[in-house]
Chain A
Amino acid sequence: MEQVVLLLIGVLAVGSALGVVLMPNAVYSAMMLLLNLLSLATLFLLLHAQFMFAAQLIIYAGAILVLFLFVVTLLNPEGEYIFRDKRRMQRAATISFGLFLGAMLVGAFLAAFNKTQPVFVPTDGTNGSFGSVEAFGIDLFTRFLLPFELTSLVLLVALIGAVVLGKRK
């Protein structure tokens, strides 16, 4: 049963990723991105990352994607059909580069992870709290306190940058 769900989510994730690239209209691309984010969030949940599942939904699907849709509808860019583009050489080079990169990554992951069976930690095993919000919070506020505090600085810089960029001259 879990294998079926996993396969379905995988097909959905890869298909929607292709949709982002191939859809002529930017609004459709954004919708495909939403589908991709949701399927990846489900995969996070299947990999026992409960807090990351919620964070993915709230931050990516809730905040970043809405920002994208605002800008897409504000600028209203014209459609773009990449398969009618004149630059054939560039397109062929890009596609072969992408296939090469994908094959390399898939091959590397298969070589590294198929021989030794991964040590998978189930939620009902010895390390029972792995991935729970509690375990994540304890780690975040003890061992990783400094990086967590530094993220606030990153967000502050982004805030100031957005104000400076948005100011009319």
Chain B
Amino acid sequence: MSDVTFGLLISAVIFAVGAMGVLLRRNPLVQFMSIELMLNAVNLALISFSASLGTEEGHVFVLMVLTVAAAEAVIGLGIIVGLFRKRNRIDVDDVHSMDG
């Protein structure tokens, strides 16, 4: 098995585990970490494709994903902290309404 195939298999497994984490956990922080897992799995797949083709496009895509992940972490954690200030506990099931 080549490096590329191995990287793709690992990325597939990690993506599935991350998806399960988002659905299984009720703590939004851990759900967020699972989303980061999924983003990282996609990064690994892009880098594997890039290595398979021998071009740099995949790496540029990964840089974009990294930027979006950083922005998403800042906004998401801000929302979670805001939620905690309002209700004093964090559980995704508590969030019924979107009143600001």
Q: What chain B residues lie within 8 Å of A135 (beta carbons)? A: 56
As a 0/1 sequence over residues 49 to 65 of chain B, the CB contacts with chain A under 8 angstroms (1 = contact) are 01111111101101110
**B:8-35 near A, CB below 8 Å:** 8-10, 12-21, 23-27, 29-30, 32-34
Q: Please report the C-alpha to C-alpha distance between residue A66 and residue B59 in the assembled complex, in whole angstroms.
A: 24
Shortest distance in angstroms between B10's beta carbon and chain A's nearest beta carbon? 5
* Apart from the given pairs A52-B62, A118-B2, 5 other A-B contacts in the complex at a CB distance below 8 Å: A33-B36, A36-B14, A68-B33, A118-B52, A158-B75
Across-interface contacts of A101 in B (CB, < 8 A): 15-16, 19
- Chain B residue contacts of A44, Cβ below 8 A: 43-44, 47
Given the complex, which residues of A lie within 8 Å of B56, measured CB to CB?
130-131, 135-136, 139
Whether B4 pairs with A120 at a CB distance below 8 angstroms is yes
User: In the complex, what distance in Å separates the CA atom of A48 from the CA atom of B2?
Assistant: 13
A59 to chain B, nearest CB (A): 5
Centre residue among A17, A36, A64, A71 by max chain B CB count within 10 A: A17
Total residues of chain A contacting the partner, CB 8 A: 79
Q: How far is the CA of A110 from the CA of B13 in the complex (A)?
A: 13
Are B77 and A47 touching (Cβ within 8 A)?
A: no
Name the one of A2, A49, A67 contacting B51, with C-beta atoms under 8 angstroms: A49
**Would you call B70 and A17 a contact (CB within 8 A)?**
no
Complex partner residue of B59 from A82, A117, A136, CB under 8 angstroms: A136
Chain A CB within 8 A of B98 CB: no
Q: Complex formed: what's the CA distance from A20 to B40 in Å?
A: 13
CB <8 Å contact, A68 and B77: yes
